[in-house]
Amino acid sequence: MSSTQNEPAAESGTKGTDSVPASAGVAASSPAASSISAAAQPRPSEPKYDYDLFVIGTGPGGEGAAMQAAKGGMKVGVAERYRQIGGGCTHWGTIPSKALRYAVTSTMKSLKNPVMRELGFSVAPTMEQLNRGTQTIIGRQVSMRQSFYDRNGVPIHRGQCRFVDEHSVSIDHGEPITAANFVISTGSRPYRPPGVDFSHPRIFDSDTILTMPEKPTSITVYGAGVIGTEYASMFRNLGIKVNLINTRSKLLEFLDDEIIDALSYHLRDQGVIIRHDEQMERIEGKDDGVILHLKSGKMLKTDVFLWANGRQGNTDDLGLENIPVEANKRGQVVVDEHFQTCVPSIYAVGDVIGIPSLASAAYTQGRSAGMHLLGQADGNLRLNDIPTGIYTSPEISSVGKTERELTDQCVPYEVGQAQFRSLARAQITGETTGMLKLLFHRETKEILGVHCFGANASEIIHIGQAIMNQPGLQNTIEYFIETTFNYPTMAEAYRVAALNGINRLF
């Protein structure tokens, strides 16, 4: 149910998943010696609820909350409406899309290798071939995550979960299951606007695009957010002609301006046609393609069409009408800094609460909710320190402040850069496109932001993230100057960027 994504599950992924009866965990009543003594000495072993915590959804957020609470001694149950656990992250989003991306990039890189060409290799992989390994990876993920629930004694109830009241839910309209607390982790799905025929065989959203049976020669991607740019980059790597329609004036406006410019340049350099400040008027599905009519008067026709403009929280069939919790027009639930809704015993985490809508953030949010329930933490577990990870080609990752934000806040900062083309490791691997950028305070030398564009950016970023979060004077750019890095490595970019930045001071 939960999210930021079908071969039958392996046997280990389906064991121990029978629903627990609504009365599970409630101690059987014993004959009382007398009504007076029973009233005077109520049995402490008879719990008021079936569970201390009941989690709705088994995506990253739900898993994080369930495991944290279970390890803290709580009696936990979960609900999942899909036939396998893992949520959208495992089945429709993060895992399958990144598996396909890896298959595309590694295959095309091999085919472009001069040695392969000299040997006469020239093939065009099909979508079925590129997706072949994805189901194996999903099966492994499901099996592994099932073992977490089994080891921690957390039963999984199968079916659609709906609130009956603030302390009870029903599964597919069955007998009520009661709990002292709930965590809503139902994730999100692609927003589907009225008037777009998603049943048309050439019109897809980000959940259905991975089932596309054949590789098209051209595609229009409507929406240039994270999902849209990732798919535009991926399909262009396959040699597909790509139109990327952006409803805003810039790509990914939350990124550092220099990274935005680099992404725009490289997408265009690869052949992606980007159109900014455009709005859809209507979409016309034909037998031989899809025509996108824009409000500006432009018309674009391609073999297939991908809608990648927004997400919708999965709350429309959750029974929220029976409790005070409400969802906004995008199906998202409002929470406080502890991930509590307006009902203190009901928490919500993951994509269902909106941005940042990342699997990594959802898991941490779930753990935060669990720790708050256990009284182990009174905060959001560094949720202001979430790195972005955008799997375009090349990758983008960043953490901390951008130059735009620091300038607006009148913070005296300086910039250190390392171009990947100057790194020996990048020259060896041929991945010379990209850079690492460090933003640091001119006076204290505190690292304020780290931005990376290039191969393995989502891995490289964590070195800077770790130093940024050291206390006091331990967060300084001089750490990278004084540290010996393995050579040749991409991590060496930190030393190069630090020296470049220090040399700007006077």
pLDDT per residue as tens digits for the range 208-240: 999 898 999 999 999 999 999 999 999 999 999
Radius of gyration of the chain (CA): 26
The answer, yes or no, to whether residue 2 has pLDDT greater than 50, is no
- Stretch 342-367: mean pLDDT, rounded? 94
For the chain, give the mean pLDDT. Answer: 88
> In the structure encoding, which two tokens stand for residue 212, read together?
């596309």
Q: Helix H segments across 119-256? A: 127-131, 134-151, 226-237
The answer, yes or no, to whether residue 306 has pLDDT greater than 70, is yes
Exposed, middle or buried by CB within 10 Å (0-12, 13-18, 19+), for 6? middle
Yes or no: say if 131 and 120 are a contact pair by the CB < 8 Å rule: no
CA distances from 94 to 3, 87, 226, 390 (A): 9, 10, 12, 11
pLDDT confidence bin for 155, thresholds 50/70/90? very high
Q: Domains plus CATH for the chain? A: 1-6+53-190+310-379 (3.50.50.60), 203-309 (3.50.50.60), 394-502 (3.30.390.30)
The single-letter DSSP state of residue 362 is H
The residues that bridge with 291 in the sheet, in sequence order, are 284, 301
Among 305, 303, 286, residue whose Cα is nearest residue 294: 305
- Phi first, then psi, for residue 64 (nearest 5°) are -60, -45
pLDDT confidence bin for 149, thresholds 50/70/90? very high
The answer, yes or no, to whether residue 43 has pLDDT greater than 50, is no
The answer, yes or no, to whether residue 26 has pLDDT greater than 50, is no
> In 10-167, at which residue ranges do the beta strands (DSSP E only) sit?
51-56, 76-80, 156-158, 161-165
Exposed, middle or buried by CB within 10 Å (0-12, 13-18, 19+), for 316? exposed
The residues that bridge with 427 in the sheet, in sequence order, are none
pLDDT confidence bin for 6, thresholds 50/70/90? very low
The answer, yes or no, to whether residue 30 has pLDDT greater than 70, is no
CA distances from 53 to 75, 135, 184, 218 (A): 6, 32, 11, 49
Exposure string for 458-482, b = 16+ CB within 10 A, e = fewer: bebbebbbebbeeeeeebbbebbee
Distance from C-alpha of 392 to C-alpha of 227, rounded to nearest angstrom? 9
* Tens digit of each residue's pLDDT (9 = 90 or more) over 70-127: 999 999 999 999 999 999 999 999 999 999 999 888 887 777 777 766 676 667 788 8
Distance from C-alpha of 454 to C-alpha of 413, rounded to nearest angstrom? 24
pLDDT, residue 42, reads: 41
Q: Find the helix packing angle between 134-151 and 60-71, rounded to 10°.
A: 20
pLDDT, residue 381, reads: 65
* Tens digit of each residue's pLDDT (9 = 90 or more) over 474-485: 999 999 999 999
The answer, yes or no, to whether residue 20 has pLDDT greater than 60, is no
- Phi first, then psi, for residue 255 (nearest 5°) are -85, 165
The answer, yes or no, to whether residue 19 has pLDDT greater than 70, is no
* Tens digit of each residue's pLDDT (9 = 90 or more) over 454-493: 999 999 999 999 999 999 889 999 999 999 999 999 999 9
pLDDT, residue 129, reads: 85
What is the DSSP code string of 136-176?
A: HHHHHHHHHHHHHHHHTT--EEES-EEEEETTEEEETT-S-
- Stretch 396-416: mean pLDDT, rounded? 97
* Tens digit of each residue's pLDDT (9 = 90 or more) over 158-213: 999 999 999 999 999 999 999 999 999 999 999 999 999 999 999 999 999 998 98
The answer, yes or no, to whether residue 342 has pLDDT greater than 50, is yes
